[in-house]
Amino acid sequence: MARNLHVARVWQIEYEYPGMYGGDRQDVFYDILTMFEVDNSAEDAYTDDFEIARSGLQQLRKHISEQDETFRQNAEEFYSCLAKVGMKREKFIEVLDCLINGSDQSDAYVHVSWF
């Protein structure tokens, strides 16, 4: 059964689908967060519910979209991760945009779930 990434919009929990699904993409998402040292509460790639610092996601988006020095240092590994799941850089940026903008803006953390 495929697992989809979901983001909680508010504490009342309104799920939105930002465009990632499946165990392989769950692994890739975690690997990219780790690669760019994005603050999050996941214990490992298989943590179903966790929080990510919104500022960390914003910084990650900036690195990837601007292809700055931090991105260039990780570019080969980043593209390798995306290639494993057939995803393009632009699509990953769309996922980040959904997580950043589609979640509760009053919370410094983005609450995500895989189910």
pLDDT at 111: 92
| pLDDT tens digits along 31-67 | 999 999 999 999 999 999 999 999 999 999 999 999 9
Per DSSP, the three-state class of 99 is helix
pLDDT at 30: 98
| pLDDT tens digits along 58-114 | 999 999 999 999 999 999 999 999 999 999 999 999 999 999 999 989 999 999 999
pLDDT at 10: 61
Write the DSSP symbol of residue 106: T
CB 99 within 8 A of CB 7: yes
What does the buried/exposed string (b/e) look like for 85-107 if buried means 16 or more CB atoms within 10 Å of the residue's CB?
bebeeeebeebbebbbebbbeee
Task: Measure the CA–CA gap between 112 and 26, rounded to whole angstroms.
Answer: 11
Tokens of 53: 């610092």
Task: Measure the CA–CA gap between 67 and 3, rounded to whole angstroms.
Answer: 29
What CA–CA distances, in Å, run from 54 to 83, 95, 105?
25, 13, 9
- β-pairing, 5-8 vs 109-114, is antiparallel
